Structure 1
Amino acid sequence: MTLFRAVRAVTESEGDAPIDWDAAGEVAKAAIDPGELSLTESEQAGYAEDVRAARSRIREVAEVEFDVPDTIEVQNRHHWIDANTPTFRRVMEPVVEEFAGGPAPGFARSLNTATTGGMLAFLGNNVLGQYDPLLLADEPHALYFVHPNIEKVADLLAVDRDRFRRWIAFHEVTHAAEFGAAPWLSGYLEDAMLDGIGSLSDGRLEREALAEVNVAMTAVEGYAELVMDRAFDDEYDDLRRKLDERRGGSTPVGKLVRKLLGLGMKREQYERGKAFFDAVADDRGVHGASRVWESPEYLPSDEELDDPNAWLARVPK
């Protein structure tokens, strides 16, 4: 961590925008150590094998056709920040532009830049793997593994590093399967996000559009949990339990940051979505549950997430 570098990046932030995104990325990288990325041949082969195995097994279990992204990277923390700062900019810029101006725009820009850099640093220090559909961008999808974080958390949980890495790979490839099986999903999420953001222009918040995003993401996370349960080629209850205990044992500051970033909601999405898809799969199998990706009309509604029988009655086999 280089405090001087972070402070200098904030004080030298420039431009007319509410956030200097280049400076925010510099703040984030100054705040955290990049981590070691000297992979052995065995580790390099392990990542590749885990992705191949996950693709093959998920295709078999879910009976969906998809491929993994062309871009698959094993990164350190600074690499993750570099890759994700443009994504955060694309998603957040329409929102922050609504709050531009004010009596001290230079001070506000510095404060916004520092806050954004801190958020990127927190995430960069904690993200294990990431399937990135690259919303709002005309670019291929990507799959990232943050090697120093995977090793750090595996050691903290006292679990085998190779087994933990494989579990992360299966989870992220499951997300690739969802977006691969549903070519409409990226556009659907983009439209709903932009509808919600656009409503800020006249001082209102379009909650219906944002609720639509939340329901879709609950389906995304719940389906991933279902497929993980049925496809992963090893027991992993201990991994999930230990990760949940680690989340629950976070420091007060860590809990606050997670709440501000909405990470607590993601856990709720996992659990609510998993309960829905477990019920659907018990009735129709995993392939039947995969039908949710055939069309936006087959996404569960907010009410159906809590009443899977209503979805089963509405959607034909």
Structure 2
Amino acid sequence: MAENPPRDDSTDPEGVGDGSDEFRDMLRDFLAGDTDLDPAKLASAAGLPDDPEMVKRLIGQLQQALQNSGDGINWGLATEQARALAGRSAVPSTPAERSSMEQALHVAALWLDEATSISTLTTEPVLLTRAGWAEATMPVWTQLAEPVANSIADALTNVLDEHATGELEGMLGGAGKLMRNIGGTLFAMQLGQVVGQLAAEAVSGGDVGIPLLDGDVKQAALVPQNVDDFGRGLDIPADEVRLYLAVRELAHARLFRHAKWLRLHLLTQITDFARGIHIDTTRLEELAADFDPQNPEELRAAMTSGALIPPKTDDQLAALARLETMLALIEGWVDVVTAAATTRLPHAVAIAETVRRRRAAGGPAESAFSTLVGLELRPRRLREAAAMWQAVHDAVGADGRDDLWSHPDVLPSDADVDDPAALVARLSGGTPEPDDIDRALEELLGDETGDRPSEPSAG
């Protein structure tokens, strides 16, 4: 059994304390393996692989959490976890592969110049390893996850405060900060696990639709290993796949650089949605009451299934609909511009369809992020949004299409996605053909004024 350090009563001469030292000792015993709960099972419940090194890292981080006097989440731990996991499956690119990818980015920039007037990037695109992608994108992931992490920590401490009685109440009286630190550590490691898995799937910085890279430092990035994995089995030359994905990434990055308001607008929408998430304390209490130390998998299932996150409120559903429309507008524009820029590629249509299927299905890591944070990042109306952008392009050209990103007030709305003809008519200065609703309204107004709409003359 590991010996605990002697208690320091210098600041508490009567030895009364607030109970947190006793609680800390109990947790130390657990982490040293002196309880019925196997730390390896806790690691499994936290979503970590059955790996002695991962278990050792988890226990070490939890022990550090016990010593942490702060009251925040150590997001550096998430980065460390993600890098470690992403690096396990990494295969270094050869000089020839990197040269081919750099050439693809160069040609992609030239082709995009023909498809859009949106100017080129101010920084050179970068090639990232999987671990590099995880580290470069983690600041945005933590920004999205922090509201939920704080909600979980608050719910955990509230449940303990409400239900602690007798001796346990004294033990937990000053232990809230300890529980927040430990809960935050587990959440950070779970997020690191998710981002580490995403790093093995994402082909670029904009692959999931949101701007994951710092716009001032890195504006576009490709992950060569994942780009080549994407093309494997498609029976399409690797150079075509690289060029197509390079065009998509540069189009995405150019859009966010051009519409300088867009990145903050989108991330604010996401974080506002996340702040509205509150953990279901009733479900948390049930888990605590039924918790079996020998089978912590139920705890993991609750976390990874989203069972702790209650159904969305009406306000959240409305916010989610606005967010999905924005994501669809972004991805739809990228699809249309990429299609216009890659007409020289023999297999461009086949690659585009593979991208759409992949995005619609999502991957296991993206699903894990959805349940962890309660937010799906896949636009549901992508095809309709792309059709709208194509209709606008056909009517007013690339410049008129791209001018709609100049300000959020002129960006197409959900109604415009439903009715591209009305949008095109407005942009062209014409009047759209009346639809059934327009005709019914005209008849109703005619009845109220005593006038009937004029009938067309026969013959």
Q: Is the 8 A contact 1:2 1:30 kept in 2?
A: no
Alignment of 1:1-317 (within 5 A): 3-13=51-61, 14=65, 15=68, 19-32=73-86, 33-40=88-95, 42-62=96-116, 64-70=117-123, 72-101=125-154, 102=156, 103=160, 104-105=179-180, 107-131=182-206, 133=211, 139-199=216-276, 206-232=316-342, 233-235=344-346, 236-243=348-355, 257=368, 260=371, 266=378, 268-315=380-427
Q: Is the 8 A contact 1:54 1:170 kept in 2?
A: yes
Aligned residue for 2:121, secondary structure, equals coil
Tell me the amino acid that sits aligned with residue 74 of structure 1: L
- Which residues of structure 1 form unaligned runs of 5+? none
The alpha-carbon distance between structure 1 residues 197 and 153, as it changes in their structure 2 partners (threshold 3 A), is: closer
CA deviations on 1:147-189 (whole Å, 9 max, x unpaired) are 1111222223343222111111000111122123322222322
More helix by share: 1
The alpha-carbon distance between structure 1 residues 139 and 98, as it changes in their structure 2 partners (threshold 3 A), is: farther
Q: Is the 8 A contact 1:222 1:273 kept in 2?
A: yes
Supply the distance in 2 between the matched residues of 1:188 and 1:196 (Cα, whole angstroms): 12
State the shift of 1:226 in Å.
0.4
| Greater C-alpha Rg | 2
CA deviations on 1:205-243 (whole Å, 9 max, x unpaired) are 555444333222211100000011111131312223445
TM-score (norm. length: structure 1): 0.82
The alpha-carbon distance between structure 1 residues 198 and 265, as it changes in their structure 2 partners (threshold 3 A), is: closer
> 2:304 — aligned with what?
none
State the shift of 1:200 in Å.
5.5
TM-score (norm. length: structure 2): 0.59
Q: Is the 8 A contact 2:73 2:188 kept in 1?
A: yes
Q: CA RMSD in A?
A: 3.4
The percent of aligned pairs where both chains have the same amino acid is 22
Aligned residue for 2:118, secondary structure, equals coil
The alpha-carbon distance between structure 1 residues 316 and 240, as it changes in their structure 2 partners (threshold 3 A), is: closer
Aligned residue for 2:391, secondary structure, equals helix
Aligned residue for 1:173, secondary structure, equals helix
The alpha-carbon distance between structure 1 residues 294 and 96, as it changes in their structure 2 partners (threshold 3 A), is: same
The alpha-carbon distance between structure 1 residues 75 and 207, as it changes in their structure 2 partners (threshold 3 A), is: same
Aligned residue for 2:233, secondary structure, equals helix
Q: Is the 8 A contact 2:79 2:135 kept in 1?
A: yes
Supply the distance in 2 between the matched residues of 1:4 and 1:28 (Cα, whole angstroms): 17
**Range with greater deviation from structure 2 (258-267 or 289-298):** 258-267
The alpha-carbon distance between structure 1 residues 294 and 113, as it changes in their structure 2 partners (threshold 3 A), is: closer
